Structure 1
Amino acid sequence: MLKETGIMKGGKGAIALFLGLMLGYAPASVGVPMGQQSWQWLEAIPGGFRVALPGGVERQEPLVLDLQGGELVLEGAIALHEGNQYVFAFGDYRVEGSPWVRLTMLRDAMVKDTGWVLAEDRSFPLGIHPGREFILFSENELITYRFYLVGERVYILGVLQDAGVDLREEMGAFFGSFGVTR
């Protein structure tokens, strides 16, 4: 269940949920220093997180990923804005292995699923929780993902955009707004 919790002013942006993964800790504020786009706070009560998004959000049907060691069922939503997509999702990821190994298996599944090229990949923890950020690209598009693992819960955030679009400020606001509430 998604719950709208407020409005904040920010800048232009894009939103869409690929229905996948995400996590973070509660932000104090989010701001994008361009334009007058309204950002809305959404709280996923069963998911235990909140995030700010520019524009509206459409919940997606659960997505089942067949991963080495078992299935991962993800719940999430999609939002489209100015041709770009901001994605968030979560699920309980109960497989054997260290957090880094589990995040690597998940990344590899995303690379295989899209057939895109892995451009960047690095550790990106959320406070004390393990995390990973990576970028996939195709000829005309790229997607930046952040995965976080909090206990057995995996959170996925992603921004899908045209390759020629600069969304650094909007992505910073989106990723920075993510917070774990449980």
Structure 2
Amino acid sequence: MNTKVLLPFLITTLLVSDSLVPEIGHAEPPIQVAQSIWKPFSSAAGNFTVLMPGTPSQEQDTVNTQFGSLNLNGFSVERPNEAIYWVAYFDLPGELSNRIQTSGQINEFLTAVVQGLSEGVEGQLLNQQTITLNNYSGKEFRTQHGEGVVGRYRVYLVNQRVYLLGVVTSKENYLQKSIQGFFNSFRLAGGATGTVSPPPPNLNAQLQQAVCNQNWSQAMNVVNRMIGQTDSQEVRQQLFDYKQKLQGFANSNAVVPASELADCS
């Protein structure tokens, strides 16, 4: 997989917008943040919850890539003269997601995200380590920016969805507990196991129609959307197995008798 094609949309728009990477002031050390400022924030569309030090502002943008359009969504809270905390997510197009299946490909993709974000915010990558969220792969990394500003980040790949969390601050030493608490509060909306409901009925209906029409490419696109909407490892594996069968039909160019397709006779 050529990960270089990923860097333009990781560097531009949402990740390096003025609202997400502001200039951090250098006033006196901040007063310890009262615990009461931390409020639970949830995004139904993003399928996550996290603690934020205030009410976040939202950023949205659409980026056209060779793989299709990406809808970027971000939420940020700026604490003046202290730090900015942000969460962002976007879904990978099916064609690109198909190229990121093995553990090696996932690691390559996440490494590209780390490098792309570091370069995009003109920071020096200091360190990185592999992490997980409900058995999904991720990276935690730290960058050094100009004028003593430090960036702390986490990125996760959850099926077709990419989640990014960041804290940009010049007061890192004073905010260790706040930064770690922010990162550790991030949860998928399905709970500790990341389990959510199966794909909605409309996708099942679309899949059934595509299969009955023997439009295998369309059927695989629907399956990709289903994979992106479930965090259940069991359901995800079933969908991957089914997709392999559809790929076999597509490769053979054979016409399957309707009687052999469930509910298509």
State if a TM-score over 0.5 links the two structures: yes
Higher relative contact order (CA 8 A, sep 6+): 1
Is 1:170 equivalent to 2:178 in the alignment?
yes
Q: Distance in 2 between matches of 1:100 and 1:63?
A: 25
Is 1:148 equivalent to 2:148 in the alignment?
no
Task: Give 4+ residue runs of structure 1 displaced > 4 Å after superposition.
Answer: 68-72
Q: Distance in 1 between matches of 2:161 and 2:19?
A: 18
Computed over aligned residues only, the root mean square deviation of the Cα atoms, in angstroms, reads 2.7
Match of 1:26 in 2: none
Give the partner amino acid of 2:56: V
Q: Distance in 1 between matches of 2:33 and 2:86?
A: 21
SS in 1 for 2:55: coil
Relative distance call for 1:81 and 1:169 in structure 2 (3 A) is same
Match of 1:18 in 2: 20
Match of 2:262 in 1: none
**C-alpha displacement at 1:164, in angstroms?**
5.6
Count of aligned residue pairs for this structure pair: 153
SS in 1 for 2:133: coil
SS in 1 for 2:74: strand
Match of 2:75 in 1: 77
Larger % of helix: which?
2
Contact between 1:17 and 1:76, CA under 8 Å: does it hold in 2?
A: no
Per-residue CA distance 1:42-94 (angstroms, 9 max, x = gap): 1110111011111221111326496x977754201111114310010111124
Match of 1:138 in 2: 145
**C-alpha displacement at 1:172, in angstroms?**
1.5
Match of 2:85 in 1: 86
Give the partner amino acid of 1:77: F
Match of 2:116 in 1: 109
SS in 2 for 1:124: strand
Q: Distance in 1 between matches of 2:119 and 2:43?
A: 28
**C-alpha displacement at 1:35, in angstroms?**
3.4
Q: Distance in 2 between matches of 1:106 and 1:148?
A: 10
Contact between 1:120 and 1:134, CA under 8 Å: does it hold in 2?
A: yes
SS in 2 for 1:60: strand
Match of 2:188 in 1: 180
Relative distance call for 1:159 and 1:63 in structure 2 (3 A) is farther
Relative distance call for 1:72 and 1:113 in structure 2 (3 A) is farther
Give the partner amino acid of 2:110: L
> How does the TM-score come out when normalised to structure 2?
0.52
Contact between 1:17 and 1:89, CA under 8 Å: does it hold in 2?
A: no
Q: Distance in 2 between matches of 1:65 and 1:136?
A: 28
Q: Distance in 2 between matches of 1:151 and 1:100?
A: 13
Q: Distance in 1 between matches of 2:33 and 2:120?
A: 34
SS in 2 for 1:46: coil
Identical-residue share of aligned pairs (%) = 25
Contact between 2:140 and 2:155, CA under 8 Å: does it hold in 1?
A: yes
Match of 1:11 in 2: none
Q: Out of 128-137 and 104-113, give the one that drifted further.
A: 104-113
Q: Distance in 1 between matches of 2:36 and 2:53?
A: 7
SS in 2 for 1:37: helix
Per-residue CA distance 1:2-34 (angstroms, 9 max, x = gap): xxxxxxxxxxxxxx9739xxxxxxxxxxxxx96
Larger % of strand: which?
1
Contact between 1:18 and 1:88, CA under 8 Å: does it hold in 2?
A: no
Contact between 2:150 and 2:170, CA under 8 Å: does it hold in 1?
A: yes
